[in-house]
Amino acid sequence: MRLSSLIQEMMNTPSPIRQIMKMASRQNIINMGLDPDDVISYGGGWVGHHPPEGLREAYMKIIGDRESFHDAGKYSPTLGFEECREAIARMEKELFGVKLGIENIIVGQASTQLTHDLFIALMDDGDSILLLDPTYANYPGQIDMTVRNAKIIRQRVLDVDKWEYKDEGEMAEDFKEIYEREKPKIVMFPTPDNPSSQVFGDEFVKAVYDECEDNDTFLILDYAYKTQCFIPEPKYFSWSPTDHPNLIAVHSNSKWGRGLGRRLGWVDASSDVIDAMERVQQCSILCPDTMHQFAFTEYVNAALNDGSLKRYLEETRDAYKKAAEMTTKAIEEHLGMPYLVPQGGLYTLMRVDEDADEFVRRVLKNTGVLFIPGKGFGDSLKEAVRISYGPHVENPAIIEEGFKRVAKYLS
């Protein structure tokens, strides 16, 4: 069978995280002589809290009425329904102070699809893009899939010896040097970050943005974890396309509202970028999901009116902050290995001082505890693992148990 040369190439470099999740599949765990029900996983890059009740009720309203359900089966406009884009604009304004018109918003299937479409809309063959090291493991594959001969440049942001992020001034200096040399078309990173759970500071982000604007290139901020920020929010969380036309913000319902399987996301950006995205999206998905837009619009408007959205987000954020603290406390007490203090999101990074692929295999086989080896996020994490507390947020007692087991084995 003759598949495309692109996909043949890509199948030779499968996603490193998928590889490890395969290793932790039920059958493989049994093959290792372990009981799958006994495995404690810190591998999941997902959230475990419940979606808002008001959102569930909005879905029930649609499903409970024959005509509403019929209506929810129609195509959406490619950009998304105006009512949905208005609700997003209102939410961004009331939660973060971002000023958006509906001409600044396109609704899509999720941030993964929107990111893929953004690369098509913005990059030519051979263009370069700057990613951080470490960064979200899916970006390199998404770039290779959409841009022929793309050059991926990495900026090291983690000081591996000290096991802490470089200070903002140093990061800004490093950035300027790399940017001047490489002139990337796009700079992209998540904040709060996956895998480090660090929130990039205003000085660094402003330095990056200013270069992008001066050179008419783009800064893409991936806001998958924007509502799960544990520290005071940086000022750039409120930037708008009117005052920052070279900024593109990618958003998702996956993490804040536990919508990982009810996929809906959006991009806010200048109207030029949104027009370009409309053309790409006509070819990629035609239009976003109607039912999810209807339920989301109904819920967001009602929950902004009665204040319940803010309450829900605060409670959720506090629960993740608590899970993060329990995780780092357990690492400190039981393993004593260097870790990063999460500033938002679902993860911490722990340095293990040996090849992490080997470490993960060995620990899983001997304890039934699963970590994610760091290499897939960048070379800086070859000897580190990503630990996710996201799936355990409603059952945080389990968090300590895994570290106790690993400590017993390692000692």
CB of 88 to ligand PLP, least distance (A): 14
Considering the rule CB under 6 A, would residue 248 count as an interface residue with ligand PLP?
no
Hey, which residues between 129 and 188 contact ligand PLP (CB under 6 A)? 136
Binding region for ligand PLP (CB under 6 A) out of 106-114, 359-367, 368-376, 390-398:
106-114
> What's the distance, CA 307 to chain centroid?
26
Residue 49: both structure tokens together: 């809290």
Contact 236, 206 (CB under 8 A): yes
CB of 152 to ligand PLP, least distance (A): 16
Binding region for ligand PLP (CB under 6 A) out of 67-75, 110-118, 149-157, 162-170:
110-118
For ligand PLP, give the closer residue by CB, 119 or 136: 136
For ligand PLP, give the closer residue by CB, 280 or 337: 280
For ligand PLP, give the closer residue by CB, 265 or 378: 265
Of 115, 90, 135, nearest in space to 267 by CA: 115
Among 41, 104, 191, 194, binds ligand PLP (CB under 6 A): 194
Of 101, 146, 95, 139, nearest in space to 123 by CA: 146
Of 268, 113, 118, 133, nearest in space to 198 by CA: 133
Among 150, 224, 249, 280, binds ligand PLP (CB under 6 A): 224
Considering the rule CB under 6 A, would residue 388 count as an interface residue with ligand PLP?
no
Number of residues that bind ligand PLP (CB under 6 A): 13
Hey, which residues between 44 and 103 contact ligand PLP (CB under 6 A)? 45
Considering the rule CB under 6 A, would residue 254 count as an interface residue with ligand PLP?
yes
CB of 377 to ligand PLP, least distance (A): 11
In the bound state, the residue with its beta carbon closest to ligand PLP is 252
For ligand PLP, give the closer residue by CB, 198 or 367: 198
CB of 111 to ligand PLP, least distance (A): 3
Considering the rule CB under 6 A, would residue 240 count as an interface residue with ligand PLP?
no
Binding region for ligand PLP (CB under 6 A) out of 24-32, 48-56, 109-117, 150-158:
109-117
Considering the rule CB under 6 A, would residue 190 count as an interface residue with ligand PLP?
yes
CB of 199 to ligand PLP, least distance (A): 13
Identity at 90, one-letter amino acid code? R
For ligand PLP, give the closer residue by CB, 368 or 391: 391
For ligand PLP, give the closer residue by CB, 385 or 406: 385
Among 117, 127, 211, 222, binds ligand PLP (CB under 6 A): 222
SS (H, E, C) the chain: CCCCHHHHHHHCCCCHHHHHHHHCCHHHHHHCCCCHHHCEECCCCCCCCCCCHHHHHHHHHHHCCHHHHHHCCCCCCCCCCHHHHHHHHHHHHHHHCCCCCHHHEEEECCHHHHHHHHHHHHCCCCCEEEEEECCCCCHHHHHHHHCCCCEEEEEECEECCCCEECCHHHHHHHHHHHHHHHCCCEEEEECCCCCCCCCCCHHHHHHHHHHHHHCCCEEEEECCCCCCECCCCCHHHHCCCCCCCCEEEEEECCCCCCCCCCCCEEEECCHHHHHHHHHHHHHHCCCCCHHHHHHHHHHHHHHHHCCHHHHHHHHHHHHHHHHHHHHHHHHHHHHCCCECCCCECCEEEEECCCCHHHHHHHHHHHHCEECEEHHHHCHHHCCEEEEECHHHCCCCHHHHHHHHHHHHHHC
Binding region for ligand PLP (CB under 6 A) out of 97-105, 107-115, 154-162, 207-215:
107-115
For ligand PLP, give the closer residue by CB, 111 or 297: 111
Q: Where does this chain bind ligand PLP (CB under 6 A)?
A: 45, 110-112, 136, 190, 194, 222, 224, 252, 254, 260, 265
